[in-house]
A and B are shown apart, each in its own frame.
Chain A
């Protein structure tokens, strides 16, 4: 994976020095070579790769070409912003998607089911960045107000901090909830036709017990899988949402770093995203065993 991350970046045309000269409006070949030497990007790619791996092993993430500061110093404050936004978006998507999916399945082919399906289809059809922009424009047009454009820490003002994250989380969470709702609906519908559900009804158990304990518990695995995938996607996929709401997170910064060919920052951010994807998948796999006793790893 590290090879792919490293190589892909270098396949893109140009490097940081080209961008620096673009900001200067001219190019001097001799000066360009001098800067490349200064940054160490004149060396063979494999030497740069081995150096990077060695640095990672020693906990040194290198220096940002653009800011001339340790990459970790740049990356560190971005991570909590993205993680907070991804968690909040995931919570919103679960709160919206799972109950509506269950209701939609239980009330299959009723007016409520149709309404909920339209609601979810709308969520899938609307890109979250577009919805985010609509939210911003609606707020400024109707209220003449938008949340602060610089990050407010919860210690400074918890209410404002919550608003700053809630609005983008709603935009992102709505789209994810639509997907969750459809997955939950189909999974519950499938389970509802099983014999043990019929038996539970026949035993006279209440609807609440049958649906929430027997049906949902057996239908939850595909839903959890989707939640895991969505969360991992959000860590690196919030580019436009973070940009629209001006939140200084990983994804927004990653785009800027790519545009500047700031290799140390990009490599480490992509590596971070990859690690989160692996960890969230691992977490979901572990969750399977806990949610469904039939799943026994190592038996």
Chain B
């Protein structure tokens, strides 16, 4: 009997230990005491596109491996997956203050920061960086490519009254400026290093210093021993290993040659396969803030007719799209990332009222009716060419769209465009229908609407331009009451979808994978903003 009791006790203890072990991976990582040391091996899908020059690119392939070299004025809290005004934390700015009814944003800078070459960091560097990015009249430098100039269109001047104070003067109130400054796309550059040099080397204030960039192979970092945040970073170094082949990348992660995946890289199917092979692998489902959208050229007939655009939007069943093209690894939503991944997404109730989200047969019948009203019938069908990039994910997307359009009598054919030609073509507006992917650097309406829907914006590929909508966009931008701003943003999203400005197909999810010993690397619902690595440690 005693033996039976003993066996029961041992079983119970083992069960408790097992439960304890499985719970450990779920416990908030911040509650554990971090250990110093070790090198984190990080997945990198391609070599750096423009070296470390974050301000000259709009690709995760540059931001992800370059972020550890830099600091921002402010940053989204690395330990919180949701990004909002409430999760913005200080970095090079110790604190900030809005003044003159959100017309002036004052940053009070840290005094103990040095660049990697030993020079002190001051307000001059901040002024230099953002005057260069916003292309101020007296800008001290010029970026070769400047994709985010429009983010700072509302900034009229940047003042550096003393070495540790910077003031951003705005034309009108714009609380969301802080959100854009907190993005991984907004590092501070040193004024004493020509911006072109960032294409080959990196001088930042960040937690890691570049040790070696072996072209096409890896980027290696060593801990910045002079880092302003005492006791950080925890890691001795980082190694971003370039592996262009997707199957090899996954195998390397599975075999433990890599410790973490590449943001936005792991599909649902790959995550399931990884989890089955390595049950202890930690998979986190997050929003990527990347959407699939349909481009309908509003300047060219028949898409200058809103009825035709709406018919196209009605024809495509969004829920079927998410299931068929993404195998459930995406969610439906309008022009802002849907909740709970994003902050501004429309409610399910609102979404159901929009074209393409209702009962598919009803929506398709309505699409046929609208096309008939526009003069396209079974005997005189609308024939269009769908243009897209010659990349598998774009082609899958386009094939689905073409099939849906066929069901409402539209005869669509696919034309694949080589990657080098895609953006010139989109900028020339040399298409009638296109399928496109858009990544947003920050989950904020200003960061999205001004870039993708504003009249005259180079990235407003469909050339959609509506004065009333623009007024609403400006209105939400300066609205200080968050509830009122939310209401305005919802109205804008509904209007954009009704007008077929750029019909949204779905928002991609990422199944970020990491080994359980990697601590404090919390994936955000935005792939661009969590690469700093200063809090990451290895529990080995």
Contacts and interface: CB of A to CB of B under 8 A. Distances in A.
B22 interface: no
Given A67-B200, A243-B244, A27 B423 contact: yes
Contact of A140 (B241, B243, B245, B251): B251
Interface string A111-141: 0000000000000000000000100110111
A133 B427 CA distance: 39
A136 B459 contact: no
Interface string A10-32: 00111100111111111110010
Interface string B55-87: 011110110000000000000000000000000
Given A149-B258, A256-B244, A13 B420 contact: yes
A14 B422 CA distance: 10
Nearest to A129: B245
Contact of B58 (A23, A144, A256): A23
Nearest to B245: A243
Q: How large is the interface on B (under 10, 10 to 19, 20 to 34, 35 or more residues)?
A: 35 or more
Interface string B239-262: 101011101100110111110000
A248 B255 contact: no
B29 interface: no
Residue among B49, B50, B58, B216 having the largest count of chain A Cβ atoms under 10 Å: B216
Interface residues of A, number: 44
A14 B251 contact: no
B241 A149 contact: yes
A27 B424 contact: yes
Contact of B147 (A25, A146, A252): A25
Interface string B245-285: 10110011011111000000000000000000110000000
Given A140-B251, A245-B248, A20 B145 contact: yes
- Interface of B (DSSP majority class): loop
B217 interface: yes
B420 A24 contact: no
A69 B241 contact: no
Contact of B418 (A13, A74, A248, A253): A13
B540 interface: no
A22 B217 contact: no
Contacts of B245: 243-244, 246
B199 interface: yes
B248 A136 contact: yes
A68 B423 contact: no
A25 B248 contact: no
B192 interface: no
15 contacts: A13-B420, A14-B421, A19-B419, A24-B58, A24-B147, A26-B147, A26-B423, A68-B199, A69-B215, A136-B247, A137-B251, A149-B257, A150-B217, A244-B247, A261-B420
Interface of A: 12-15, 18-28, 31, 35, 67-69, 74, 133, 136-137, 139-141, 144-146, 148-151, 243-246, 248, 252-253, 256, 259, 261
